[in-house]
Every structure is written in structure tokens, then in C-alpha cells.
Amino acid sequence: MTNKILPILLLFFCFACSPKLDMETYKKYQNSGQEITANVQAVLLTNVGKAIQTGGPEYAVEFCNLEASSIVDSLNRVFDCDISRVSAKNRNPQNALNTEQEKQMWELFANEQLADTVLQNGSDLVYYKPIRTEMPACLKCHGNPDTDINEATKTKLNELYPNDLATGYTLNEFRGLWKVKFKRDL
């Protein structure tokens, strides 16, 4: 029980002790984070869907390997922020949980103690939102390797992501976090 309460208290303490993050600012950046992640997810899913239609899930894996980062980078410029995905079960090692804050957020979201949130980190504000395997198509690359992922896709995953941890999920399961960092002058 203490393991679940400590991160919540830490999150509350960080929010409560931050005189620069009032409720109006919090809601503004929470709304922005929701809008940005909805747009980014829609763009990525549209492109992945087209890739699946073009060459199946194995082609979508290759597409994501080559194009997902550049798509997100272009949206960083559009929205003037830093958008990323982080996970304890990452496919791309660059998406690993690297900071203590990311690890704490992972724990809270994994235990369904948080929906989405904004935290202050120095002068930056960071928005976190859970990523779930919301569509059956997600399982073609992130599902059970024995039943959901075909052999060609498994081969492509092993080739492009030899240390892949992002499989074994079921429908609607929590699998990662959107992280949107906003720069602001105080």
C-alpha cells in the first residue's frame, strides 16, 4: 500500500509546492497536451493504417522504424513542443524510461491512479497521458507473439528491434505514455 501512496504524495507535493503553476495554467497545458496527443496519435495511426494496407503489418513495422520519428519531429515544430513516447516495455530503446519522473509517472499510470496530468519541471511543463492498445490492429505488432503476430511481422520485428519489449499486450492494455514537454519563460 505504501508503494502506491508514495508516488501520489510526491506528485501532490510537487504540484502543491509549485507557486508558478496555478490551476488556470494547469488546465491550459492539460488541454493543449490532450489536443496535441490526439493529433499526433491520429497522424501516426493514419500512416500506420496506410502502411498495413500497402504491405501488411511487417511493412508497417518497417514504416514505423523509418518514419515515425520524423513524423513526430515535424509535429514538434507544428506545436512548438517536444513530443515523445516512453515505456517500460519499449520497442525503440530511445523510448525507455530514463528519468525518475518518467518512472514515477509510469508507476501511477500502470496502477490506474492517474488519467493525464501536467507537472512542472524547472521552467518546463510536462504533460503525460497513457497510451493503450485501443484497436485490434495494434495487436498485429504489439499483441501475443504466439497468436496475434504473424511470422513475417515477427521476423521484421526481430530484424529491426532485436531487443523489442513491446509485445504481449491485450486489447485496451496500458503500454506507454505520451510525454509532451512545453518550454515557457517564467
Look at residue 165 in the predicted model and tell me its pLDDT: 96
Per-residue pLDDT tens digits for 36-83 = 999 999 999 999 999 999 999 999 999 999 999 999 999 999 999 999
Instruction: Domain count for the chain, please give it.
Output: 1
Of 141, 138, 182, 126, residue with least CA distance to 11: 126
What range does the domain containing 93 cover? Answer: 2-182
Res. 149 pLDDT band, cuts 50 70 90: very high
- Is a pLDDT exceeding 80 seen at residue 185? no
Mean pLDDT score of the chain: 89
